[in-house]
Amino acid sequence: MRILIISQYFWPESFRINDLALGLMERGNEIMVLTGVPNYPSGRFFPGYNFLSPAKEVYMGIRVARVPVLPRGKGQGWRLLLNYLSFVISACLLGPLRCRGEFDAIFVFQPSPVTVGLPAVLFRWLKKVPMLFWVQDLWPESLSATGAVRSRQILSWVRRLVRFIYRRSDRILIQSRRFESHVIGVGAAAERVLYLPNWAEAMYRFVMVEPEAQERSELPHGFRIVFAGNIGAAQSFETILAAAQQLKDYTDIHWVILGDGHRRSWLEQQLIVLGLQEHVHLLGQRPIEAMPRYFALGDALLVTLRNDPIFSLTIPSKIQSYLACGKPIVAALDGEGARVIRESGAGIVAAAEDAQALAQAVLNLYRMSPAERCRMGKHGEAYFKANFDRAMLIDKLENWIVDVKKERACVS
């Protein structure tokens, strides 16, 4: 099949859509990706790119068509709005010129923003092919949860936009089962909603790190709690800092942050204010290929989310990566993510934003024997293989694309 993937984010940005595109190509499909100029999460164009960067590239055999976007900057509301709208306008105007020819299906990857669906709706109409829309983030709920939008009128407009996109999607795929009632409530037809959770790229697995490895020199000595991912509002770094403060007397407990985001400057300032520079270590962004090695050097892997009903519905994609690497998990979150960790037996969960409970969970892991922590990691690895196996899920998606293509052909 010839499949067009539409995503505002793509390689060299680190998103699961990169691996999905490769997975579909490995099965003999011809893949083309319509995306923007990479600038996430730093808010600056990646080295070698600019507003008028190469319109076409090839990523491991996948053709990539890029359209101009205004970079997201430091994540201010107005900058994000311009970033989102610039992709919509560019993709609608230039996308049809850069993605010529026929396609069998359109696949849309939707974390934030939902506006990525607008050029996809246009392509669906132009190409007369079915569209599958993979919901990673619920809109408008996530806008109000993060405080990005407080106006009821604007949230109402966004809700209408989401309904417009959902009703023109031939299949709506959800990364959490608890998304189902919400997407149906906005306007999705129940029979078109399918569950497709995130997986982890094949590189995520338990690895042994050599004694002389460079990564060892980058990490502090002691008990290491490793967090990987975006440094943003949703991750509740206030909770992490408060837990770290409570454990300051344990000088060999270290919190290692791998990632970047619009709150990094704030985080750096807070470490100075709270005197946590020797306890919380900001290593910055690392290549995705290196992450399993850093995970292997951690004693526990950390995931946190804000205390908000919308975040309780989601499974942060880092959970699948953590599980695949066979390391114990310590978490401060509610809902689906908490359920997966508890059900797998892979770690200890505190309630979202409960810094005291998070500190106690870390202390419990710290006091465990290495053998006990190893067993937790093995439980998580087994759960991952049973529920989030990459090959199983991409096979399922490919079959759905075939089905919806046949369905569209019958209607035509």
Global pTM value: 0.84
Q: Rounded to whole angstroms, how far apart are CA atoms 31 and 47?
A: 25
Structure confidence by residue, pLDDT tens digits, 227-268: 999 998 889 999 999 999 999 999 999 999 999 988 999 999
* Domain 2-199+389-411 superfamily per CATH: Glycogen Phosphorylase B; (3.40.50.2000)
Q: Rounded to whole angstroms, how far apart are CA atoms 348 and 5?
A: 37
In this model, does residue 119 exceed pLDDT 80?
Answer: yes
Is the fold of 2-199+389-411 the same as that of 214-387?
yes
Contact 406, 130 (CB under 8 A): no
How is the chain split into domains, by residue range?
2-199+389-411, 214-387
Radius of gyration, alpha carbons of the chain: 21
Name the more confident of 93 and 139: 93
Residue 148: pLDDT band by 50, 70, 90 thresholds?
low
Name the more confident of 48 and 146: 48
Q: Rounded to whole angstroms, how far apart are CA atoms 303 and 229?
A: 9
| CA atoms within a 13 Å half-sphere pointing along the CA-CB vector of 363 | 15
Q: Rounded to whole angstroms, how far apart are CA atoms 66 and 94?
A: 9
Structure confidence by residue, pLDDT tens digits, 42-57: 889 999 999 888 889 9
Structure confidence by residue, pLDDT tens digits, 65-97: 999 999 988 877 788 889 999 999 999 999 999
Q: Rounded to whole angstroms, how far apart are CA atoms 238 and 355?
A: 8
- pLDDT of the residue at 412: 60
- pLDDT of the residue at 146: 66
Q: For the domain made up of 214-387, give the CATH fold.
A: Rossmann fold (3.40.50)
Q: Are strands 280-284 and 347-350 parallel, antiparallel or unpaired?
A: unpaired
Structure confidence by residue, pLDDT tens digits, 375-412: 999 999 999 999 999 999 999 999 999 999 888 777 66
Structure confidence by residue, pLDDT tens digits, 275-334: 999 999 999 999 989 999 999 999 999 999 999 888 899 899 899 999 999 999 999 999
